[in-house]
Structure 1
Amino acid sequence: MKIREALISDIAQIQIVRNAVKENMLSNPDLVTDKDCEEFLTIRGKGWVCEIDNIVVGFSIVDLKENNIWALFVHPDFDRQGLGRQLHNVMLGWYFMQTNETVWLGTAPNTRADTFYRKAGWTEIGTHGKNEIKFEMTAANWKVKYIQ
């Protein structure tokens, strides 16, 4: 297993992972285009992929412009192996080296993602979009939980 910075050439495999998930599925896969991925990887923020045998099995992308976790997904065939946690930690470590701004994300309630973010120290602050839970992570909370 290898975690590395995501490249534009990874977008096709990122899309495969994104469209394979069983929770937090896109209502229409065409809503997240390759061009969107490229913009978030190269202009708005940065991303990472987790590879096993040169195949992308998970990815994370953070948006510095909106201080938002744009994506964190692991292919269902590789669930529960700690890949999401490693992608999460690399992404937030990088994010908080760039800024001390609070970062937020939205996810569906009563999902494994909901539980994952709570265990990772995120704070529920309300709702976002269509019935998603909105979570935040402050720089101070990140440092207390992960830096010490």
Structure 2
Amino acid sequence: MSSLEENKLLVTERKILRKILGPTQTEEGIWRRRKNKELEDLVAESNIIGEIKAHRLCWLGHVERMGEDRAVKRAYLAVPSGRRPVGRPKYRWKDEVEKDLCDLRVDDWRETAQDRPKWRLLLSEAKTHFGSSRYPTN
């Protein structure tokens, strides 16, 4: 997921939260929209990016534990034949997940995925790592 896509998701999330939480009234009695920091303070959960990446890792662990005869596992492990057109290489789901695991500094993820309690711990760590700052300042 590119940073442009991530930014669009965060903007949409903030827009929805502003609708849900509504405006706030100042001491002078003037109504105003909530600022990003106020939204971050009110909502104590990870942002949508952390949730997406954690769910993606959750699915990776599920696929890794599957039997080799399952269609999903065969598709995951398959190497397509043929050539791609000239140009920038297309990103694959597998590449994005491996980048997330690299960001988490996880080396032996295949081994960890076999142990469900350890994998769940990794998923909770991913939520806090990727969703720690709800609204990054640019």
- TM-score for both structures, normalised by structure 2: 0.26
Normalized per residue, the structure richer in strand is 1
Higher Cα radius of gyration: 2
Normalized per residue, the structure richer in helix is 2
RCO (CA 8 Å, sep 6+): is it higher in 1 or 2? 2
